[in-house]
Structure 1
Amino acid sequence: MTPMDVLIVVERFFLYWLAYSFAGWVWETGLSVVLRKRFEDRGMLNGPICPIYGFGGLLVVVLLHDVNNPLSLFLSSGVLACTLEYASSWAIEKLYHMRFWDYSGKPFNINGRVYLNGFLAFGAGATCIKLVVQPWMSDIVRSWPIWLLHAVAGLSFVVVVIDAAITQAGLRSLDSRLAKVSEGIKALKSQQIRQIDTRISEADEQWRETSAKLRGQAEQAYDRFAAGAQQGIRAASRPVADAGELVRRSLNRQQRRLIRTFPKMVSLRDLTITDMIRDLWNRL
């Protein structure tokens, strides 16, 4: 086999990976639309792909090449897919100190990383890929002229590498940025408590001073008290807006999207910060 033949094989498998990654993104995003009633980009990368589905598809195509019995293929594919998902969850935790999904409340889960429904869905999907989709897609890609294969694979590869580099940088800094957000929100909460205490004390003092005066000035005293209370309410709401601005400044667009998209995503260093941010967004 010549170097050109090797390149052609690699390019074809890269396109298979890209197609399965895109199919995974469509599946995840479509499922989110059905279950959560709104569109959410479920990809970890910026582009419309879920790489774990691409790698899962390639594992089935390569490792189960000679398996054609539907039941054997279903069981083997489910095991392969769950192994890949488990390893991916573990690697993400070790590399980025984040957990993006947690199936702890699901039936027959293993350490919250994989569970029964995933096994069934991946097994069925991979069986369909191996027996139906892959032969059809292989025929299409093999029918392309070599120049078209080089152009599509080369351009797609460059785009994916750039996207992966940007995503990698964002994930690397996400945990540390969340730590800064956590400290900032705690400081704002302390400031909020102090402001409320101050406003209440001022309003109470105004009430006691003016209520000691003539009865005819009682209405004026009440107005002052109400104004003080309103100022306290406004002071209490300002830190919420300040916290929202803190999140916007501290996290880039992709990082904010990931927090919205993955409702189970948590930082292993601060298990509450992502839920705190989501609650903050709901209040703004």
Structure 2
Amino acid sequence: MTIASTICLFAACSLGGWLWETLFAILRTGRWERRGFLFGPVCPIYGVGVVSIVLALQAAGSLGCELTGWWQVFLVSFAGSMALEYATSWAMERAFHAYWWDYSNVPLNIRGRTCVPAGLLFGGGGLLAVYVLMPAMAQVSASVPEVALEACSYLVVLLMSVDATLTVTVLTDFEERVASADRSFNDRAEAVTERVATTVSNAPGRIRGEVAQTAADASARIVGGGERLERIAADAFVGSMDAVHRSVVGRIRGFRSPERPEVGERLSSILSALKSRR
């Protein structure tokens, strides 16, 4: 396969993966869900997986180790898909403190990043790719002028690059805005606490106890209504998001931010508010 045909195969499998994910979500939940990491209708991990299988089989053949049996293709697809899912999940979580899928409730999972049942399913997908998609792509490559394939591959690279840039920019801006809002909230809370402390310390001795008790009662009411205030703040933040931000962020399953747990909690509350509006 040429580079152009490989890129077109990647695009076709990325689109097919998105269609599969979307259909599966509809069958599971009964409603439409936008799937995938990118803004457009593609799931690049499927394209990467299929292209990796093709390259692995070609590399094995060049080394004199022909993997022609269906069970060999299945095992390569099974093991490769689990490794790819785990690595992708880890890398995306490190980059954005978020995860787009979670197998924690599925048997035989590895830290929720991948699992054996999904690996078996993708192993079957590898058979489909090798015995159906690759021959079909070979026929297309033989019947379509090379210049058309090259033009298609350039268009795929352009669209994917623009989409990836847009998505990464949106996610980075979203987390920075949440972190900024969290710092602003904490700063205001500290300022109020300092003013209360100053008021209590400067009050005459005979009424200092009453002032302190009043401040303590007010603090208790604020703490008791913390969840409600959090929901109000999250709803307000979601209301300030544009359609692109809502689309990209709405595909995230959850957030993990070990370095800044308070930001992770704020991100999770905003995500819950966003999903409740659907």
- Cα distance in structure 2, aligned partners of 1:186 and 1:173: 20
Q: Which residue of 1 aligns with 2:61?
A: none
- Cα distance in structure 2, aligned partners of 1:116 and 1:122: 10
Identify if the C-alpha distance between structure 1 residues 16 and 237 changes in structure 2 by more than 3 Å, giving closer, same or farther.
same
User: Could you tell me the TM-score, scaled by structure 2's length?
Assistant: 0.72
Does 2:28 correspond to 1:35? yes
Write the deviation string for residues 135-194 of structure 1: whole angstroms up to 9, x where unpaired.
1122113311123223222222212211111112123333323334556788999xxxxx
Q: Which residue of 2 aligns with 1:261?
A: 251
- Cα distance in structure 1, aligned partners of 2:187 and 2:22: 37
The structure 2 residue matched to 1:273, chosen from 262, 266, 271, is: 266
Q: Which has the higher contact order (CA 8 A, sep 6+)?
A: 2
CA contact (8 A) 1:100 1:264 kept: yes
Write the deviation string for residues 210-233 of structure 1: whole angstroms up to 9, x where unpaired.
xxxxxxxxxxxxxxxxxxxxxxxx
CA contact (8 A) 1:96 1:172 kept: yes
* Unmatched tracts of structure 1, length 5 or more: 1-7, 190-235
Q: Which residue of 2 aligns with 1:24?
A: 17
Of stretches 94-103 and 84-93 in structure 1, the one that deviates more from structure 2 is: 94-103
CA contact (8 A) 2:167 2:248 kept: no
**Matches of residues 1-284 of structure 1 in structure 2 within 5 Å?**
9-65=2-58, 66-182=66-182, 243-249=234-240, 251-268=241-258, 269-270=260-261, 271-281=264-274, 282=276
Count of paired positions = 231
* Unmatched tracts of structure 2, length 5 or more: 59-65, 190-226
Q: Quick one: percent identity of the two aligned structures?
A: 30
- The structure that has the greater radius of gyration is 1
CA contact (8 A) 2:93 2:256 kept: no
User: Could you tell me the TM-score, scaled by structure 1's length?
Assistant: 0.71
CA contact (8 A) 2:250 2:271 kept: yes
Write the deviation string for residues 13-59 of structure 1: whole angstroms up to 9, x where unpaired.
11111111111111111111111111112021111111111100001
Over the aligned positions, Cα root-mean-square deviation in angstroms equals 3.0
